[in-house]
Structure 1
């Protein structure tokens, strides 16, 4: 099946000659950045080569959580949740945000031990996360017949609707003064006296001194054109949605073989975080050593194989002159073929545990490409060698929930305002400054 249905005509019609800042990428990070910059009076233009939210921002699970995050992400996730609380009012739109709680289901003693370790790590943040027993877990999963050892539960964690959120935030950014141009690939940049002076798009040149690269899975290729080594790979995850069903759990939860989220339309989003594919591409070999620690920690959560991307990226190794179309224009929206078998297997596992889901009708199966870094923590950072460039990428499947907080932080870096959280953990240079790579333990 094709990816989520999106508006390909949602665009401002004119491209300005100058801008205070240009945001590259119309996912949740990009539109959130545009919103916060516009609210501060920055003349901001967002350029998106395809459709707003066309890739992972509309294809994710729709979780908005603090629970289970890497210790470096916890402060940003907390601030993001605060922003989500008032975001609909702020933008005058509907993102589908609800604080309905999230469960991490414990099936083994090891699960319980991993959860206890994370709680110890996070206790300084004053979260409402707690461990619960078998009966309390059952109470939060109405319709379930399988009995679990317990769960880690965060009542204040939330959910939102990925296909609603990005267009709504973009509309809010426009109201605040941002210009958003879709179907407009940025091919590269110009520099003057060592600093950024312009971006070159397929529709023309924009003079600017500040660029935000929020290109998701495309960020590595864009950086390559700037002679910047960004260690980033892509993994595919398959997701499905069902029609409306009554009698099941609210909120969201995950076990080893399935994850669920109740949708506003009464159906469920179903997936399995343990079945992901990394297609072998030239970067797989270029970054082999960078990702070795992560491969060992992931175990069987990521499988390696060949796909259409394996062949496509063979032809994207060489740089293309800025006056000619390149990969960004040839591939407007990444729409990988889903692994329908794994999606249906996740639904079957969920239905075995929650029998009311046996009556659920599958309405859509899709896949997305998740941009990952070697330590599974995003880059939100200036780049010392390219003054005026800020990179916001590698969100490793966490970008939707953190998105508004990340957009706020990026805007802080652009304007020089006091950062909403300490940006040091997200610095680009951690991959090259000798810092030991930190891989978070499983939760």
Structure 2
């Protein structure tokens, strides 16, 4: 069972037409819908389950520039400016606080990699810096393990995943958004060679444009219109503790474990060093594209055959307008967390910071991260289907960059000047000869 998410009511009226239909009630879909209605665009947001029920409420809650892929720097910088004023913009609490983010340099090799990223950060005017071992202990009181230093960005921050997307959705409704939850999209239909209609389980909606922001479901939705999106899913396991008073303010990654303070006084604990990939037909289908990333990340990835391996092989198919779809049969992706990973995180944290020795686990959950071969998102028109746009594949970075990502999608839909250069995020990069590679700085 996932974390408890703030409840958002659906709109009363099921619409039959709109200018734009956004598919997916995660934080990127919600941020897109919010940006569209703020532009005065008649928008409907469709969600097969409920707002932020999947990965958008299950992530770490970090809003970071630290160690970002260089291609994402402009996007995260724009997002950080938007996060700063988000509560005032929405009139609601998202939990955003600027307390910094710190990545430990466990050895000199990693410290050198951090220093190389820092050179790029300074070119962009970031306040990132390298900390000495003594300075790390000042920022993380009670740290009991030796480090070579740490990379820190003091102006980075954190927000609450269980609050942020719902707060954005409520504000969007107040600005005119029509939100329909428990309303799965079965198909996207063409009219005169372009998007003309979205067929849902509750009827069809005529529209001029559609945005696919379905997270881990986006590949299947685009397959339904004949588009190939090389996207896979990675299981991330997270836990939260009961309130525990410790004098640590920044979000901290020590390698095998990462942690950050929550508004409720507890701590969110996770790790990017232990992620699980369940083998599915898509793993074979996209193996060639993902192989370079796997070679780099193989130490943090575990492969297994499980129930979802067979379920996806035999039951995951694009929807049909006249039949119950997989999106209706599986409203929420709610995978169990990987128990050995959780145990390893707790052991590592208690060893590194003895102040956590008395932590009590309040809840744990799993979430499926939508990943791309180069670990940056697709935010792009779908060239073979005019009127269709996609925003997905955020590879674990989506929460922090969602505000500007949503604005970029809205700019593409309305053909306004884009908030950042969209070229790095184009869908066609997987076919136009660009070298597909991930950048690894942390």
Whether these two folds match at TM > 0.5 is yes
What is the TM-score when the length of structure 2 is the normalising length? 0.98
* Greater displacement, 164-173 / 309-318: 309-318
Q: Distance in 1 between matches of 2:107 and 2:318?
A: 50
Q: Distance in 1 between matches of 2:125 and 2:222?
A: 38
Matched, 1:81 2:72: no
Matched, 1:391 2:390: yes
Identify the residue that residue 326 of structure 2 maps to in structure 1: 327
Q: Distance in 2 between matches of 1:433 and 1:126?
A: 32
Kindly report which structure 2 residues correspond to 1:12-411, keeping only aligned pairs within 5 A, or say none.
Answer: 12-411=11-410
Q: Distance in 2 between matches of 1:276 and 1:416?
A: 38
Q: Distance in 2 between matches of 1:335 and 1:142?
A: 36
Q: Distance in 1 between matches of 2:141 and 2:11?
A: 46
Unpaired segments of 5 or more residues in structure 2? none
Distance 1:38 1:364, change over 3 A: same
**Partner SS state of residue 273, structure 1:** coil
Partner deviation per Cα, 1:319-342 (whole Å, 9 max, x = no partner):
442111111011100000111221
1:383 shift after superposition: 1.0
Partner deviation per Cα, 1:53-99 (whole Å, 9 max, x = no partner):
00000000000001111100010000000000111111111100000
Q: 1:248·1:356 contact (CA, 8 Å) conserved in 2?
A: no
**Partner SS state of residue 2, structure 2:** coil
1:316 shift after superposition: 3.1
Q: 1:6·1:51 contact (CA, 8 Å) conserved in 2?
A: no
1:231 shift after superposition: 0.2
Matched, 1:413 2:442: no
* Greater displacement, 5-14 / 108-117: 5-14
Partner deviation per Cα, 1:332-379 (whole Å, 9 max, x = no partner):
000001112211221221111111111111000101000000100000
**Partner SS state of residue 392, structure 1:** strand
* Greater displacement, 313-322 / 40-49: 313-322
Q: Distance in 2 between matches of 1:284 and 1:157?
A: 34
Q: Distance in 2 between matches of 1:348 and 1:320?
A: 44
Q: Distance in 1 between matches of 2:33 and 2:103?
A: 33
Partner deviation per Cα, 1:241-275 (whole Å, 9 max, x = no partner):
00111124112010121100111111111111110
Distance 1:284 1:440, change over 3 A: same
Q: Distance in 2 between matches of 1:88 and 1:202?
A: 34
Q: CA RMSD in A?
A: 1.2
Q: 2:381·2:387 contact (CA, 8 Å) conserved in 1?
A: yes
**Partner SS state of residue 197, structure 2:** strand
* Greater displacement, 335-344 / 228-237: 335-344
* Greater displacement, 146-155 / 368-377: 146-155
Q: 1:64·1:81 contact (CA, 8 Å) conserved in 2?
A: yes
Number of equivalenced pairs: 442
Partner deviation per Cα, 1:385-425 (whole Å, 9 max, x = no partner):
00001100000000000011100101101111110000000
Q: Distance in 2 between matches of 1:162 and 1:320?
A: 29
Unpaired segments of 5 or more residues in structure 1? none
Q: Distance in 2 between matches of 1:296 and 1:305?
A: 17
Q: 2:221·2:318 contact (CA, 8 Å) conserved in 1?
A: no
Q: Distance in 2 between matches of 1:179 and 1:321?
A: 24
**Partner SS state of residue 171, structure 2:** helix
**Partner SS state of residue 4, structure 1:** coil
Q: 2:8·2:51 contact (CA, 8 Å) conserved in 1?
A: no
Q: Distance in 1 between matches of 2:353 and 2:187?
A: 50
Q: 1:7·1:51 contact (CA, 8 Å) conserved in 2?
A: no
Q: Distance in 1 between matches of 2:318 and 2:255?
A: 42
1:232 shift after superposition: 0.2
Q: 2:8·2:170 contact (CA, 8 Å) conserved in 1?
A: no
